[in-house]
Structure formats: structure tokens, C-alpha cells
Amino acid sequence: MSLTPRLQPSALVGEVPRQVKPKKEAAAIELGWPGFCPRQPRLVLPIFDDSGSVSLPGGGDPVGNRYQEALLAFEALQEWCSCGKCLAGVLHFDSPRGDVDPGKLRSFTFQQHLTQGLRVPRFAAGSSVLGPSLARAEEIAVSLPKHEVRLVVLTDWQLFDNDNILDRLRSFPGAVLAIGLNADPPAELLGDDIVSLRIGHGDRPGAVARALFGELTVGRRGRRFIGTPDRDSAAEEAPK
Ligand SMILES: [Zn+2]
């Protein structure tokens, strides 16, 4: 054994990699910059599946954090809506329990409502049925003809609906982002107005927040979007 003291390498100047772990993962999630309001106002409407296969430990929810991540995305828009027409809402599979009707993203009071709605509703039945919340989404879309409605369905797609729910989803009057929580969305869903996205346990934290932020900022002028690569090309089209 040598007793010669070893020289320690001096710290590299300039590029010392930082390995500081953030206290909360949410704090490390970067979404980008929302940009300026589009000419046609829009409503972004997520539908959450709270059934056991998603909500319980080991279920399809990738980081157990989908609600907090959704809130991050909505909050990112609050300061940047100047038109007052950018809307959001929340629907749950056990509609209307825990639902939040559409409201203005820039309103502080409405953001508080969103916070209330972005959790598993109390006494939720945990049904695996999309139909009731999809019916509510259709009603909302019809009631807001001047808005572009963007529906985001977050589920593991283990659905127990009786009728042909996928056909109904395909004919939804608006854009649909079908997110598969640790599952692939059904291949039958692929269509012009439907984009499918799988978010799995292996994805880094923030995948749900980025997906929603992408929907919230599609067509917003000047936005900078740190998103999943396969969404970028579709999402960065010139504003109409
Ligand atoms: Zn706006």
C-alpha cells in the first residue's frame, strides 16, 4: 500500500455538473413559454379515469402525479391569457362527481376551482366507463361553438362501455388527444383529429404536464414548447 498522498483533481472551471436533486419533482418540470393568445379561443378539457387500474399503486398512472402535473400546465397559462377567452375544465369518468365546468384560465378564482377538481373525487365510484364524461364533453363543445375544444382523455383504455365508445370519441366535435397511461391507446382511434400518446412508468416526470401544456398552447403565437418529440411537428404548425 502506498502512502504517497494522491493529488485530487482540481475542480473543472466553468462546467461543474450540478447534481442537486430537486426537493419536489414538480419543481424540475420545464414546460416552456405559453406565447400569446390565439385568434380563435379554445377550451382544453381533460377527462380523468379514476378507476383502480389507474389510481391504485401499480396502476397505469405513470408517476402517481397526473393531477399535480395537470395543474402545473393550467397554471402556466394563467399569467399569459390576455384575451380572457382561454378556457379549461375538468371531467372525471364518474361524471359529474368532481367535474369543473369550463372557466377562464386567467381567473385566480377559477384556478382554485381547477385545483379542487384535479384530484380523485371524494366517494368516486372508480368506474371504468368513459360514456358519461364523453357525453358531458359533447354537451360542452356544442355550448361553446366559437371555441375550438381540445379533449384530452387520460386512461389505461380498459373500458367497460357498452356502446361503441371509440366511434363516439372519433366523431367528437373537436381535437382529441388520447393518452394511454402505461398502455397503448386503441389503434382504432387513429384519425385526422385524434392523436395518441402513450405515457408509461418509464417516462420522466412531467410527461402529463407537457402533454397538456402542448394542447393548451397549440396555435399560440411565439410559444416555446418543451414537449415529446412526436408531438412537436404536429403542434408547431403556423397559427391560423
Ligand atoms: Zn387568452
pLDDT tens string 155-179:
999 999 987 999 999 999 999 999 9
Q: Which three cell numbers stand for residue 39?
A: 385568434
pLDDT at 204: 84
Q: How far is the CA of 84 from the centre of ligand 1 (A)?
A: 5
Ligand 1 center from residue 88 Cα (angstroms): 11
Contact 121, 93 (CB under 8 A): no
Give distance in angstroms: CA of 42 to centre of ligand 1.
8
CA of 129 from ligand 1 middle (Å) equals 32
CATH 3.40.50.410 fits domain 50-235: yes
Cα separation of 128 and 142, whole Å?
Answer: 25
Q: What is the DSSP string of 126-191?
A: -----HHHHHHHHHHHHH-TTSEEEEEEEE-S----SS-HHHHHHT-SSEEEEEEETSPPPGGG-B
The three-state secondary structure class of 91 is: strand
The fraction of the chain above a pLDDT of 70, given in percent, is 82
For residue 63, the model assigns a pLDDT of 63
Determine the average pLDDT of the residues in 68-79. 95
User: Please, what's the b/e burial string for 80-107 (b: 16 or more CB within 10 A of its CB; e: otherwise)?
Assistant: bbeeebbbbbbbbbbbeebbbebbbbbe
Q: How far is the CA of 80 from the centre of ligand 1 (A)?
A: 7
CA dihedral 56, 57, 62, 66 (to 10 degrees): 50
Q: How much is the pLDDT for 11?
A: 39
Distance, CA of 55 to CA of 33 (rounded, Å): 30
The amino acid present at 215, given as its one-letter code, is E
* Residue 102 CA to ligand 1 centre (angstroms): 14
pTM attached to this predicted model? 0.82
Cα 77 to Cα 42: distance, rounded to the nearest angstrom: 12
More confident residue, 216 or 5: 216
Q: Ligand 1 centroid to 34 CA: how many Å?
A: 10
Query: Percent of the chain scored above 90 by pLDDT?
Result: 65
pLDDT in tens, 35-56: 999 999 999 999 999 998 888 8
Q: How far apart are CA 19 and CA 222, in angstroms?
A: 32
**Cα-to-centroid distance, 81 and ligand 1 (Å):** 4
Where are the domains positioned within the chain?
A: 50-235
CA of 104 to the centre of ligand 1 (A): 8
pLDDT at 9 over 70: no
Half-sphere exposure for 1 (CA within 13 Å, toward CB) = 1
Q: Distance from the CA of 90 to the center of ligand 1, in angstroms?
A: 18
Residue 224 CA, ligand 1 centroid: distance in Å: 16
Q: How far is the CA of 86 from the centre of ligand 1 (A)?
A: 4
CA of 160 to the centre of ligand 1 (A): 37
